[in-house]
Amino acid sequence: MFAKKTILLALTLVLFAAASVIAAVPRPSNQLRLAVDRIIEVLRDKNLSRDQALQEVSNQVRSKFDFWAMSQRTLGINWKKATKEEQQQFVRLFAKLLEDTYRGRIKVYTYNDEHVEYIGERVRGSRAEVHTIVVANKEIPVSYKMRLKGEEWLVYDVIIEEVSLISNYRNSYGEIVRDEGFGGLLARMEAKIKELAENEEQGGSEESVPAPQGGNAP
C-alpha cells in the first residue's frame, strides 16, 4: 500500500513539474509587446514629465535588453581576448551608449499615430526572432532577436530595415580595436559618453547645429 502511494505521489509530482514548465515558457512576442506597449503608453502620456518618461522607458529597456549578450556579440573574437575587467567595463560603456541612442530619440519625439504591428515570430530552442512593422509616416520593418534566460525573453539584437544594430557596431568597433587596441576602443567610448553628457547639460542641442568635429576631417 505504501509503495503504491509513493509511486502515485512521484507520478503526480512529475506531472505537475512538466505542466508547470509548459505553462512557464511564455511567447517572446507577448513579452516584447508588453514592454513596447508600455513604452508607447508612456510616450503618449502628457501628464508625465520628460524626465519621468525617460526614466520609465529606461526601466523597460533595461528589463528587456540583454546588454551582456549584446556586448559579446558586438565584440566577437575580441570578447574572448579581453580580460574579465575589460569585458565588464565594455558592457557598462556599451549599455550607456545604447541608452543614449534612444534617449536622444525620445527627446525629439512627437507622437503621431505611430503603432507597432506584430507580424510573426520564430522560436528555436532558447532563441527567437520577432518580426514587427513600425507604422509611422512610413512603414519600417523592425525585427528583434531574443534569447530565453530563465523565463524572460531578452533582446540581443535589433534589425531595422535589414540592418542589424549589432553587426553595425561589430564592424566599426572591430576596426577600431584593430587600429588602436582594446584600450583605445574603451578610451573612445569613455570620451563619447563624456561628450554626450556635456551636450545634455547644455540642453537643446537637438536644434542647434552641431559643432564641426575634428575627428571626421580628412
Partner 1 sequence: MRAFIIILLFLLLGGLNSALAQDAVQADSAVIKQEAVPSVTAESEKTLVADDFTAEDVYYGEGDDEDFTDGAMESFDINDPIEPFNRSMFWVNDKLYFYLFKPIARGYRVVPEPARKSVSNFFSNLGTPVRFVNSVLQFKLADASTELGRLVVNSTAGVGGLFDPAKKYLAWRKKDEDLGQTFGTYGVGNGFYIVWPLLGPSSARDTVGLAGDFFLDPLRYVKMKPLERYALKGLEKETKLSLNKDTYEGIKRQALDPYLYVRTTYAQHRKGKIKK
Per CB under 8 A, which of residues 82..141 are in contact with partner 1?
87-88, 91-92, 94-97, 100-101, 104-105, 108, 112, 126, 136-138
Cell numbers linked to 47: 501628464
- Let me know: does 71 contact 91? Beta carbons within 8 Å: yes
Among 171, 178, 183, 198, binds partner 1 (CB under 8 A): 171
- Among 8, 11, 135, 197, interactor with partner 1 by CB under 8 A: 8
For partner 1, the binding residue among 48, 54, 131, 164 (CB under 8 A) is 164
Rounded CA-CA distance 108/207 in Å is 9
77 binds partner 1 (CB under 8 A): yes
Closest C-alpha among 209, 213, 188, 176 to residue 75? 176
**Count of residues of this chain found to bind partner 1 when the rule CB under 8 A is applied:** 85
Binds partner 1 (CB under 8 A): choice among 7, 12, 120, 194 = 12
Chain-centroid distance, C-alpha 41: 19
Cα–Cα distance measured from residue 136 to residue 185, given in angstroms and rounded to the nearest whole number:
35
For partner 1, the binding residue among 49, 124, 161, 202 (CB under 8 A) is 161
Q: Are 60 and 41 in contact (CB under 8 A)?
A: no
Work out whether 176 is an interface residue with partner 1 (CB under 8 A).
yes
Residue 185: Cβ-neighbour burial (10 angstroms; 0-12, 13-18, 19+): buried
* Cβ nearer to partner 1, comparing 49 with 214: 214
Among residues 38, 43, 54, 142, the one that binds partner 1 under rule CB under 8 A: 38
Closer to partner 1 by CB, 68 or 118: give it.
68
